[in-house]
Amino acid sequence: MEPTPTPKRVQTSVPSLGSVSWLDTPELRAWFAKWLLQSWQSFYSKSLDALPGRSFAEADDGITSALKRRARQLPLLSTADQLATVAAVAAKFGLRTDRDAVLFELGWHLKKSGHTPENRAAYQASPWCNFHAVREQIRERHGLLLSSTHYPKPSEGDLRVAFKVVLTELGSPEIGRLDSPKLAQLLSLQREVAALDKAASTLPQHSPLHAAWSDVGPALAAFAGRLDAHLNDVRKEPDALTPLHVRRQQRALFSAVRRILRLSDDPLTGPKGLAVFLVSRLREWPLLPAGMTVDLANAFTPEQRQAIVRVHLGLAPEATSKAACALWRILHVAIFREHLREPLLRLAHDARQRRKGWIHLRGALEAIFVHLNHEPSDGELFRDFERVNYPCMRQLTREQREALVPESGRDPNASVRDLTPKERLAVAARYLKPKVPITFSEGRSPSEVSYRRARAGVRKELGLG
């Protein structure tokens, strides 16, 4: 049996790239060594790209061969020594990198493929695990993962965008600030000012235009600064440039959608009924030759829209109801609001082009409405709270604990520790206001049991047992 090589401390004058402390365990060091052998080109890319063609090939082959000869030794070294070994070999070919480049490539790799079996242990130990999981949780909560579920193919990217726009338009009580034409003009002006300043910086020194720019430049720079400050203020107030009557229309649409979705007992309303209603309207949308547009005011008069709603709900000619009013508003906005009409027509156009396309579109719209009609349970709220705030409830001083949980009184324990499950539940109850009140009795209440399950699920996902 061949003897195992003894790990040796690497002696090199190359500037140290530091260590990756959360990977300094026997199992994860082996993973890190394998990643270095496969990905060293990624964080040396700038130095490699600066080499001429022949030198690039020589450096690539030389470093790869040298690292393969050290492949058995690297897993036995600490992460600092592994990085120093790679840096020493690369320095012989004139290559340089820094610690930020290494961490950036490592983070990108783990965020992209951390859930695969071979990378899961390293991903769960990394500081990006919680960040990535929170981001995915927020996307799931807002329904943004539904688009890739119903339109998974790379060629359906424009359909995914249209699907997300429909979800946002129907499921948001407010209109996004990017829908404001005034803000779009300000952003365009900001880009034009930046382009003008960049172009003027290339003028020759002795050009008469350069002398003229020296007079105009300071005033334009001051204007650009005030424009940036104004845009920053607008971003803090998303609705600052959206007219009030437009925001009211969006709130009315959101209320109408919620009212229809609550009537789930009626097959003509609820998520399924609303999806069937919209799909039937899209199938009957008037088709015109290319270059011609539909006169919406004449094609969908108020009398025609009322008749469409009454026929769908089975109402008498003069009868009305709250569901009919809500459905009429949804139909009106879907026809006349461009930001909602265009994505719906894009999805309908794809449905016409393929077999069973209308069935697929109806299922996709129903998934949107099921998501909008979903009310999270206390267990889901607790898990979301624990997932987002998990790092902030660990390793707290006594002063931090007393500020976070003032109802617990003066804490006799002056050590640094995590919040206990009961303290975490108290903080969650204060912010979430669960449906089932938390009693904190001697026996475990349903909320306490639900929170403990949520906490155990988050710890398991983080690899903490």
Calculate the CA 60 to chain-centre distance: 36
Q: What is the pLDDT of residue 12?
A: 42
The pLDDT assigned to 22 comes to: 83
pLDDT above 50 for 134: yes
| pLDDT tens-digit series, residues 367-417 | 999 999 988 888 888 888 888 888 788 888 888 888 888 887 888 888 888
Q: How confident is the model over 328-347, as a mean pLDDT?
A: 92
Which 8-state DSSP code applies to residue 412? Answer: S
Answer yes or no: is pLDDT of 330 > 90.
Answer: yes
Sequential DSSP letters for 181-221:
HHHHHHHHHHHHHHHHHHHHTTS-TT-HHHHHHHHHHHHHH
Nearest alpha carbon to residue 404 among 427, 420, 387: 427
Residue 275: pLDDT above 90? Answer: yes
Residue where the block lists tokens 């260590």: 19
Q: Is the pLDDT of residue 463 over 80?
A: no
pTM for this prediction: 0.63
Q: How many helices (H) and strands (E) does the chain have?
A: 22, 0
Q: Name the more confident of 412 and 31.
A: 31
Q: What per-residue confidence (pLDDT) applies to 15?
A: 55
Region 92-98: mean pLDDT is 86
What pLDDT score was predicted for residue 9? 41
Which residues are within 8 A (CB) of 338 and not within 5 positions of it... i.e. 6 or more apart?
Answer: none
Average model confidence (pLDDT) across the chain: 83
Top pLDDT among 13 and 205 is at 205
Distances (CA, A) of 100 to 40, 97, 107, 146: 14, 9, 10, 35
Q: With beta carbons less than 8 A apart as the criterion, state whether 133 and 461 touch.
A: yes
Say if residues 339 and 161 touch (Cβ distance below 8 Å). Answer: no
- Pair of tokens at residue 33: 């060594």
